[in-house]
Structure 1
């Protein structure tokens, strides 16, 4: 389990710091963050990168950094926190690809990282026997008895 916590910690910290940097760039320079032109936003509801930057900084960035910190303390509900943020990252990437109408290597990479965060979260939930994994384990044990 130690490896699961370390891997999850590293992924959350990596995503969080990167998202905070990207979000901060979009907040401070919403018309051209890190040299990104406004043209890709033509099919989105946004006219600049300010709102996406705020969401990226707070939800994806701060959320993942906080999740990494809670992993240090092995908080009881860490599996839920980690899984929620992994799911948020996956949704963020899907929505971003749909709005930009493009898929780049970084989209694929961060999608995979979000999925891995979710799988690690499920592992933590199984280890702590928390809902819904406790129900799955109970059903599994009952099915095993019948066989």
Structure 2
């Protein structure tokens, strides 16, 4: 479990620093951030990169740095915090691809990073046995007692014991 926390800490810092850099570039130069022209936004509701830059800087940048700090401090709410910013990254990438009507390698890379973060944050929630995962754990436990020979339930129960 410690290895997952270290991976997640690294990913939050990586995404946070990158998002703050990209967001800063868009805020400082909203018409030509890092060489991107506003023509890229022709299918989006934005005229320039200012608003997307602010969202990128604040939500994904500061949000992931905050999550990394909370992880470092071992906050009891870390599973929730990581989930919010991990899912935010996945949503950001999907919406960005839809608005720009293109997919480039960075989109794929950051979508994969967001999905990895999301999976790890769910594992953290299950490991912490807090809402709503405590309910799921109880249901699976009761189902495994009631149906001990059911292969699917047995597999889920075994996997749960292995990762939690």
Give the TM-score normalised by the residue count of structure 2. 0.88
Counterpart of 1:92 in structure 2 is: 92
Task: Give the structure 2 partner of residue 106 of structure 1.
Answer: 106
Query: Shift of residue 74 of structure 1?
Result: 1.2
User: Alignment partner of 1:27: what SS?
Assistant: helix
* Superposition deviation, residue 73 in structure 1: 1.2
SS at match of 1:43: coil
**How far apart, CA to CA, are the structure 2 residues paired with 1:9 and 1:25?**
24
Q: How far 1:55 sits from its partner (Å)? A: 0.3
**TM-score scaled to structure 1, two decimals?**
0.98
Distance 1:18 1:73 in 2: 22
Structure 1, unmatched stretches of 5+, are none
3-state SS of 2:131 partner? coil
Q: CA deviation at 1:140?
A: 1.1
Matches of residues 126-141 of structure 1 in structure 2 within 5 Å?
A: 126-141=126-141
Measure, in 2, the Cα distance between the counterparts of 1:42 and 1:16. 27
The higher radius of gyration belongs to 2
> Which residue is equivalent to 2:122?
122
Residue 14 (structure 1) shift: 0.1
Instruction: Report the aligned-residue RMSD.
Output: 0.6
After superposing on structure 2, the runs of 4+ consecutive aligned residues of structure 1 that deviate more than 6 Å are none
1:48 matched residue in structure 2: 48
**Whole-angstrom distance in 2 between the partners of 1:82 and 1:126:** 13
Deviation at 1:141, TM superposition (A): 1.0
| CA distance in structure 1 between the aligned counterparts of 2:10 and 2:136, rounded to whole angstroms | 28
User: Which has the higher relative contact order, 1 or 2, with Cα contacts under 8 A spaced 6 or more apart?
Assistant: 1
The superposition leaves residues 39-94 of structure 1 with CA deviations (integer Å, 9 ceiling, x where unpaired) of 11011110000000000000000000010010011101100110110100001001
How many residues matched? 147
